[in-house]
Amino acid sequence: MDAIVLVDKPTGLTSAEVVRRVKALVKPARVGHLGTLDPFATGLLPIMIGEATKLAPFLEGGDKHYEGAIALGAETDTLDREGEVTRTAPLPSPTEDQLADVARRFTGPIEQVPPVFSALKRGGVPLYRRARRGEAVEAPAARTITIKSLELRFASADVLEFTVTCGPGTYARSLARDLAIALGTVGHLKELRRTASGSFSIDNAVSLDTVLEALRAGESGSPRAIALGDAVADMAAIVVEAAAVDRLRNGDSRALDGLVPAAGGLFRVLDKAGRLVAIARASSRVTALIERVFNT
């Protein structure tokens, strides 16, 4: 099986555990995922199976869309509901204009400090492992991230709901912390659901149980498996003959000479049956370099 399956991840499971459960049913195929979701978070988790794992570099830079809730008045060490409370503060009472102003201030390129409890590594060891061992962990350096859109609304006096579209590298837990501080209090992430990742939408996702049931039944094309070529449908495409397919799989990029799309950049190479053979990058108007080859 070489495809991407969109899983609606349930709460309580790590992204790695979802991969492990799928991998147990498709061995020896490789399995990976796009964009880690914390255990308490739910929503869209694209699972890549077999040759689809080679697509990760071309898909992981897309925007993410989340819906979530921030519990105000208490900050935790993990910046989410699973951590220990580290400080408290009175609840805010901003006006609608003040809330809109905070949303505007957090839209566009902003500086964000990732959580200490994160998979970022220091000395080859993830920071969350150091923190859970009780080590004193210095906060990671701030980085520039991009918030494309942000909507804020109060669900109650102590719960702020948000809808956000953000670029890669954004930590929702850090956003929750910073929004609470901007409102004059402290807070932590209470709920989080990812509804889109790049071109993938939660509308096309299915439950993990449904995916596992289909795999146990040997339904390799189900449920809603996305073919490799369709996963990068935003790229221009060319179709090549069987002889060119063989040359490309032997690393001969000259098979693409004269076939480069006018738009240049990255493009898909498909065989006559529509299967993805390679992703290439134009190096001139007539030549290209192979980025990845797919053996489907």
CATH of the domain at 220: 3.30.2350.10
Same domain, 186 and 204: no
Same domain, 144 and 87: yes
Average the pLDDT over 194-199 and give the result.
96
Same domain, 96 and 193: yes
Average the pLDDT over 55-77 and give the result.
95
Residue 208 has a CB neighbour count (10 Å cut-off) of 20
Count of domains forming the chain: 3
pTM, 2 dp: 0.90
Same domain, 111 and 191: yes
> pLDDT at position 140, please?
81
Same domain, 203 and 57: yes
Same domain, 245 and 133: no
Same domain, 82 and 181: yes
When the pLDDT of each residue in the chain is averaged and rounded to a whole number, the result is: 93
271-289 pLDDT tens trace: 999 999 999 999 999 999 9
Same domain, 103 and 165: yes
* Catalytic sites, residue numbers: 38
Angle between helix axes 15-26 and 208-216 (nearest 10 degrees) is 10
Distance separating alpha carbons of residues 99 and 82, to the nearest angstrom: 27
Same domain, 212 and 147: no
- Angle 280-286-290 (CA atoms, 0-180°, nearest 5)? 20
Domain of residue 27 covers 3-61+199-226
Distance separating alpha carbons of residues 142 and 124, to the nearest angstrom: 19
Same domain, 220 and 275: no
Distance separating alpha carbons of residues 210 and 216, to the nearest angstrom: 10
Same domain, 56 and 69: no
CATH of the domain at 243: 2.30.130.10
